[in-house]
Structure 1
Amino acid sequence: MQTLVICIDRDNDLGDKANVLAPLIGREANIEAAVKLATADPEDSDTNTIFGGVKILDELLAKGVDAEIITLAGDRNIGIISDQKIANQLDMLLKKFPAESAIFVSDGAEDETLIPIVQSRMKIDSVRRIVVMQSANLESTYYIIKHAFNDPKISQTFFVPVGLAALIYAFFLLIDYSQGAIIGILAAVGLYMLYRGFSDTVDFYWEKLKDSFYSGRLTFFTYATAALLVLIASLVGLMNVWSLYTSQGIWYYGIIPLITSFINSTIWIYVLAILFADAGKIIDSKQHSEPTARYMSPAFFVTSLGFLLWGATRYLISINPVMGGTETGLQDGLQIFVYSIVFAIVLALAGIRVSSKPREQGKKSKR
């Protein structure tokens, strides 16, 4: 085959709205799917993308080019998950239709982010963006704003942080503590922005958690326990810092001592959370007769890092008179710091030893 016309539905509107399973192969299958999608949602632009691809296919066939049209669909969780699904569909279709080149058809810049994925597998001769021409009334500012706010992608990005800020401000006004409203709003909006920034990573680990739950793996329990421990550690650290802050104020203790106190009071709970998550991987690997060395070595390194941070923060607290350090505490803090370094080195060496065993076994098996 000479040319593939590739239409992209990155957020899987075909599946969610029209109950059509991708990939779609051939002119008839694509037209039928486009009609179903247009019936379910006449305003969805993916319908025009497919009809635009069919028009390009007809033009190529009229010129005597050996061509075929396919439509690939991703997932409503746009990002790693949807892109992996589209890449897997493309790999499967290229085994059936080993085309020389492709024409990439999309309805906007979002779908066109997949161009590198297609280019890594075949040559792209042309990129066609299907833009719908509208009447003057539909192009009015009111229509654009109304439909933008009805779009879940835009409304979630805009309304959620504004709604959170309004609720937090109203709550602090209700308890007559307006000063805390600024802290609460900044914290909530900051957490939301972090989630949006790491949404792909969060979705990836959420999918792994669901897979472990439905497959009956122990990692579901250990991951849930680890997440709970992280939450508890954060609350313990924040309460400790808050008690110091409310007693004398940040300018009395300083930012670094408060951070030191937070790390010192939470480090071992964080380490325990990581060890719990790691233990689930080790047990599941043993049950499935898989190698466990790659999961055991991180446990040594994490514990080693825990000793280093705990010893360093204990020493910093002991030398700071504001945090309660005394001359006797200085000696104890220095001893703890030295012992923690020794323990950390021993555990790191043990981790290196454990991680090197699979390589040594691999070399022996080759011989």
Structure 2
Amino acid sequence: MTTLVLCVDRSNDIGRKAGLPTPVVGWEAVRSLVTEVGLADPEDSNVNCLLEALRVARDLRDEHEESVVAVVSGASETLVGADRSLAAQVDELVAEYDPDSTIVVVDSAGDERVVPVIESRLRVDSVDRVVVRQAHDIESTYYLLKQFLADEELRSTVLVPLGVTLLLMPLLLTQFSPAVALSGLASVLGAALLYKGLGVDQFLAESPDRIRDALYSGQVSVVTYVVGAGLTLVGSFLGALSATQRAGGDAGVTFVSAMLFVYYAVPWLALAALTASAGRLIDELLGAGGARRQYMNLPFGVVALGLVVRGFAGWFLQREGILGDALVLGWSLSARQRLALFIVVGIVVSVVGVRAAATMSENEALEEAVEQ
């Protein structure tokens, strides 16, 4: 069994510096070539590549395995011509020595690209990549950078936002102050990273298929989701309209405006969530498997959460004198009593929802046991 130890020089640095044609074959010939290349350029990494090829051949010889060490290079000015020259030299070696396999020794990522060319002519048992110890970090960083640039998804995630940011920077700096320009650029870059990091792009790409499948399957939740989105817009509009009436620069006024927004928007937002959850619950009830417990709990949880949030917002507004005392069955409630009432009602609604979901689950379990 003969193993060909092949040192590859795609850029023809060895042939050009030593002034010798390739392939160079044989232990003594390659050892003399090391001296020639080392004297011509002691800093050339090809010297280490040649020495590694000799070391591999020596180790195979010590294991009593027949080996042939050879050096091939791409004697051409173009990459295509260099690869063809390498292929022709490998064909020559195969025809003369008829090796069973080969061990390829390279010193760069560029030389490693010709491994498929060699594999098409001869079985490759190993690829030995030599990295000079002093330049290990630089070589590895270069290789990783090339791998990074070859990944389309990573390029679009990192390089595109950076490129847009650098393009916008001169325009913003000429129109606004440096602080405003840098803040805007940071916001753009952050939004782009969140857009990719949170998977918003994937969600938007899959949304048309989901909507089409939902429409074709006749799900009620499609309609209720649209209604919920409309109610959300209505609630946001009414909340913003109420908040703008108290807009100002003072921190207390700003906080009161936020409470006004919450107080007037929460009922509509809760109604929107209740509508969407009701549609989902109807789809589950109409399905073959029935409704799962979490879908039964959801409407009650939405109502309870809306009551509690509106109660706290009303407490702040009543303390500020914006809302008057609440009237319940002719009784006037203070801010504290009003908050307690909303909290108690919210807890009661939540407990009722949990109990109703548990009862329905028990009934379904009994029905399954009877059927079995």
Normalised-by-shorter TM-score class:
0.3 to 0.5
Q: TM-score, normalised to structure 1's length?
A: 0.46
Q: TM-score, normalised to structure 2's length?
A: 0.46
* Greater C-alpha Rg: 2
